[in-house]
């Protein structure tokens, strides 16, 4: 990973109060940026891989699953959008090479399984991806609780939606009730959408 | 090279417990396994998982909570990589950073970076 903020460092050091105050609260900003870049990269790769997974939810059985997968897919993109801004505010940046971004992502590639004709196989991949995202964002929340309110707020919003996604896929796979009801529109992102017009 | 710093008493650590401490504004973890104490980085070298919530396994190993990678606390080498080679570069990991520990008169001393 490139050194955080390498894209603008050459311009000279400028005081950033928004960073200074969280450093004083005990946040290791370099570590936090590293964590955020990895977590945010995982949202982007997941968005990409979910596109492929959704395409392969075919047939009568897959038809109902498409819509739910689409919600999770679009909301993961919103998570990427939401936290990217924070990375740059903190003085970090995303890798310039998308291949590097994929390699450092916090979660494994959600590859299309070889037996993709069984929807359960695809659902298991989706579930594993959501569970990794939950672990990752929970770590971010723990690193920032009481120290960095802005990052914490954004991370907990993402975490809440990831927990919902996990519950949806658990319900579909194992019949565990989740209270799922369809979003108002595909990929609504009730907690992560930056603006309703987006 | 770094200097030896006293961190705590051996008896303050329970077997299998992981504790965090701060030295010169950097975090470290220590864990007691039987009669031995190990000091290591709080971050998994694979994807930065928080090892303070990891699990100490038999044979002085630690399991990362994020992807289940296991490292040997003697030398920091990975002993279990939970993803197949099909995951390519993503599954690669470095060694866990470990620091020398000295037990003397019931106290734990560690030698960390300058």
* Exposure on the CB side of residue A31, measured as CA atoms within 13 A: 21
Task: Please state, as a whole number, how many other Cβ atoms lie within 10 Å of the Cβ of residue A1.
Answer: 17
Contacts of B48 in chain A (CB under 8 A): 31, 34-35, 38, 106
Which residue of A4, A30, A31 is the best one to mutate when testing the B interface, meaning the one whose CB has the most B CBs within 10 A? A31
Model confidence pLDDT, tens digit, residues A14-50? 889 999 999 999 999 999 999 999 999 999 999 999 9
Residue A3 pLDDT exceeds 70: no
Q: Which of B27, B48, B87 sits opposite A108 (nearest CB)?
A: B87
**CA–CA separation, B42 and B54 (whole Å):** 10
Q: What is the pLDDT of residue A13?
A: 74
Give me the sheet containing B4-9, strands edge to edge.
Answer: B4-9, B107-111, B101-104
Do residues B101 and B37 make contact, with C-beta atoms less than 8 angstroms apart?
yes
Task: Please state, as a whole number, how many other Cβ atoms lie within 10 Å of the Cβ of residue A101.
Answer: 19
Model confidence pLDDT, tens digit, residues A52-63? 999 999 998 888
A51: left (phi over 0), alpha (psi -120 to 50) or beta: alpha
Q: Which of A34, A103, A108 sits opposite B48 (nearest CB)?
A: A34
ipTM, two decimals, is 0.84
Residue A188 pLDDT exceeds 90: no
Do residues A108 and A154 make contact, with C-beta atoms less than 8 angstroms apart?
no
What's the rounded mean pLDDT across residues A120-135? 97
Check CB contact under 8 Å for A103 and B83. Answer: no
Return the higher-pLDDT residue of A117 and A61: A117
Which pair of structure tokens corresponds to residue A61? 């059985």
| CB < 8 Å from B in window 117-146 of A | 132, 135-136, 139, 142-143
Contacts of A102 in chain B (CB under 8 A): 90
Chain B: give the shortest CA distance to residue A197, in Å: 35
Q: Which of A103, A136, A143 sits opposite B90 (nearest CB)?
A: A103
Residue A84's contacts (CB-CB under 8 Å, 6 or more residues apart) are A40, A94
Phi, psi for B2 (deg, rounded to 5): 90, 160
Check CB contact under 8 Å for B66 and A31. Answer: no
Model confidence pLDDT, tens digit, residues B19-53? 999 988 889 999 999 889 999 999 999 999 999 99
Residue A12 pLDDT exceeds 70: no
Residue A8 pLDDT exceeds 80: no
Check CB contact under 8 Å for B90 and A109. Answer: yes
Check CB contact under 8 Å for A111 and B86. Answer: yes
Longest dimension (CA), chain A: 59
Comparing CA positions, the residue from B53, B15, B22, B21 lying closest to residue B37 is B15
């Amino acid at each position: 990973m490139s050194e955080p903020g390498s894209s603008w460092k050459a311009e000279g050091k400028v005081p950033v109060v928004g960073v200074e105050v969280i450093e004083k609260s005990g946040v290791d900003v370099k570590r936090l940026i590293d964590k955020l870049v990895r977590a945010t990269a995982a949202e982007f790769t997941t968005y990409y891989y979910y596109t492929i997974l959704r395409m392969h939810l075919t047939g009568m059985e897959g038809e109902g699953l498409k819509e739910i997968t689409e919600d999770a897919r679009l909301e993961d993109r919103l998570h990427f959008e939401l936290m990217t801004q924070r990375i740059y505010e903190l003085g970090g940046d995303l890798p310039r090479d998308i291949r590097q971004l994929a390699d450092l992502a916090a979660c494994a590639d959600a590859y299309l399984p070889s037996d993709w004709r069984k929807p359960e196989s695809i659902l298991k991949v989706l579930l594993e991806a959501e569970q990794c995202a939950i672990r990752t964002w929970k770590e971010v929340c723990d690193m920032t609780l009481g120290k960095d309110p802005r990052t914490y707020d954004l991370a907990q919003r993402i975490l809440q939606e990831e927990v919902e996604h996990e519950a949806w896929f658990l319900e579909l796979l194992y019949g565990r009730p989740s209270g799922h009801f369809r979003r108002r529109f595909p990929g609504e992102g009730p907690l992560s959408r930056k603006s309703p017009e987006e | 090279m770094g200097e030896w710093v006293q961190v705590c008493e051996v008896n303050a650590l329970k077997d299998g417990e992981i504790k965090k401490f701060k030295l010169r504004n950097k975090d470290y973890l220590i864990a007691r396994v039987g009669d031995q104490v190990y000091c290591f980085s709080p971050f998994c070298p694979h994807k930065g998982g928080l090892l303070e919530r990891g699990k100490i396994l038999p044979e002085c190993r630690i399991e990362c909570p994020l992807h289940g990678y296991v490292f040997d606390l003697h030398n920091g080498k990975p002993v279990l990589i939970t993803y197949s080679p099909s995951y390519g570069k993503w599954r690669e990991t470095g060694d866990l950073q470990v620091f020398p520990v000295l037990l003397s008169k019931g106290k734990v001393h560690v030698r960390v970076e300058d």
